[in-house]
Amino acid sequence: MEYFAIIIGAIFVSNIVLAQFLGICPFLGVSGKVSTSVGMSGAVLFVMTLATLVTWLIYVYVLVPLGITFLQTISFILVIASLVQMVEIILKKISPPLYQALGIFLPLITTNCAVLGVALLTQSKNYDLLQGLVFAIANAIGFALAMILFAGLREHLNLMQVPKGMRGVPIALVTAGILAMAFMGFAGIV
Amino acid sequence: MNQWTNFTKGFVKDNPVFVLLLGLCPTLAVTSSAINGLGMGLATTFVLVCSNIVVTMIKSYIPDKVRIPSFIVIIASFVTIVELVMQAYVPALFATLGIFIPLIVVNCLVLGRAEGFASKQSLLSSLVDGLGMGFGFTFALTLLGAVREMLGNGSIFDVKFTTGDAILIFILQPGAFIVLGYLIALINKLRTSS
């Protein structure tokens, strides 16, 4: 039940993109086509889970015993940046097809605030390791849901007659606003 | 480059939020009131100016291959300073801005200026650029916060100007997207007509 609440909460009620405003850059930047947004979501799922696992271990076994939790931000971002680099190198060696699919999205993920955000939120909510992992995976699914829905909407928007000043980013933001309004309907279910 | 144009470019011509579309996460997340927008903008300005200064001073000692990680460490150090200072002196604002203070680290505006400007220019230019971009960012956040607060709460900088009901949706999440969308459209319109 507790895990169920974490999952529903992260995917629908406080959706990472539409309710918490994390990962807006990829949400607006690579949501032009459904296929690229699926690739980006896959890469985020992969890195977010791994990053939450590693940062949780570092926080509990290194930062807390040494009493240097104020170095949380700096150590987490370094871990995430090196993790992304490592994942890129390992994928290239062991699974070229997966690298082909996720490759171009990986460098972009270092500056995706959703990854660092979820790692920090896991700590501030005092989750244990398993709860943290469930939280990370659920958030990644929430990211994928928002991203793919939005990409589908934008593909249709391209065919519409939009007033000149609203073309491009402005109409995309207003559409995202309406999508966020739809997600507000989930408020209160857990 | 003329330092005055260098300073003013951040306000309208190359405004980080309205034109370059950098740093949109904090822009959308914390602007439920004008004062929150101002606080977030000033915190980011501090990090931006300090990291620009340090990056220009040590740019010739950083090997090219590890320059991005080095910049991130410099930025993260200043973010930690801001975090600790805000926690000590403005705990209420720190609590409202929450996770978005540590997330200044991954604000693409800060890294973008370090990589794209400070690592190539002189100390004075980088300082002026940091200040100009920072104030442009602060201006955008405060404007967005003010519009949302006026529509959604009927107040400005916490001063109520109406007793009637306000349109609550504007200080909730959807309002952030919608107001920013229309502000960008308005600025596009002003830029193309002038």
Buried b (16+ CB within 10 A) or exposed e, B151-184: bbbebbeeeeeeeeebeebbbbbbbbbbbbbbbb
> Are B102 and A120 in contact, with CB atoms under 8 Å apart?
yes
Residue A78's domain spans which residues?
Answer: 2-184
Is the Cα torsion angle A12, A18, A19, A22 positive or negative in sign?
positive
Q: Has residue A117 been placed in a domain?
A: yes
Q: How far apart are CA B61 and CA B136, in angstroms?
A: 30
Q: Has residue A190 been placed in a domain?
A: no
Does B150 contact chain A (CB < 8 Å)? no
Span B104-123, pLDDT tens digits: 988 888 888 888 888 888 88
> Are B80 and A80 in contact, with CB atoms under 8 Å apart?
no
Is the Cα torsion angle A73, A75, A76, A81 positive or negative in sign?
positive
CA atoms within 13 A on the CB side of A35: 1
Does B122 contact chain A (CB < 8 Å)? no
pTM of the model: 0.88
Distance from CA of B105 to the nearest CA of A (A): 8
Span B68-80, pLDDT tens digits: 888 889 999 999 9
Q: Residue B24: list chain A partners with CB under 8 A.
A: 24-25, 28
**Which among A117, A169, A178 has CB closest to B99?**
A117
**A21:B108 CB<8 A:** no
N- to C-terminal Cα distance for chain A? 10
Q: Has residue A13 been placed in a domain?
A: yes
Q: Residue B174: list chain A partners with CB under 8 A.
A: 177-178, 180-181, 184
Tokens representing A144 are 């994928």
- 3-class state of residue B98 by DSSP: helix
Q: Residue A30: list chain B partners with CB under 8 A.
A: none
> Are B115 and B68 in contact, with CB atoms under 8 Å apart?
yes
Query: What stretch of H or E contains B155?
Result: strand B155-156
**Per-residue pLDDT at A104:** 67
Which amino acid is located at B75 in the chain? I
N- to C-terminal Cα distance for chain B? 23
CA distances B117 to A58, A182, B42, B120, B122, Å, are: 34, 41, 20, 6, 9
**Which among A23, A78, A178 has CB closest to B174?**
A178
**Which among B72, B186, B188 has CB closest to A81?**
B72
Span A146-174, pLDDT tens digits: 999 999 999 998 888 888 888 888 999 99
Q: How far apart are CA A55 and CA A35, in angstroms?
A: 30
Does B146 contact chain A (CB < 8 Å)? no
Span A28-87, pLDDT tens digits: 877 878 888 888 888 888 889 999 999 999 999 999 999 888 888 889 988 888 888 888
As for how many domains chain A has, the answer is 1
Q: Has residue A68 been placed in a domain?
A: yes
**Which among A74, A170, A184 has CB closest to B73?**
A74
Q: Has residue A189 been placed in a domain?
A: no
Q: Which portions of chain B are predicted below pLDDT 50?
A: none
Which amino acid is located at A5 in the chain? A
Q: Has residue A85 been placed in a domain?
A: yes
> Are A65 and A55 in contact, with CB atoms under 8 Å apart?
no
**B84:A177 CB<8 A:** no
Q: Has residue A123 been placed in a domain?
A: yes
Q: Has residue A130 been placed in a domain?
A: yes
Which amino acid is located at A95 in the chain? S
Q: Residue A187: list chain B partners with CB under 8 A.
A: none
**Per-residue pLDDT at A84:** 84
CA nearest to A107 within chain B: B68
**B108:A25 CB<8 A:** yes
Question: Helices A129-157 and A113-124: crossing angle, nearest 10°?
Answer: 150
Q: Residue B173: list chain A partners with CB under 8 A.
A: 18-19, 21, 180, 184
More confident residue, A112 or B184: B184
**Which among B103, B178, B192 has CB closest to A113?**
B103
Backbone angles phi, psi at A95, to 5 degrees: -140, 75
**Per-residue pLDDT at B46:** 94
Q: How far apart are CA A141 and CA A138, in angstroms?
A: 5
Q: How far apart are CA B81 and CA B172, in angstroms?
A: 30
Nearest-5° Cα angle at B42, A173 to B106: 55
Q: How far apart are CA A74 and CA A77, in angstroms?
A: 5
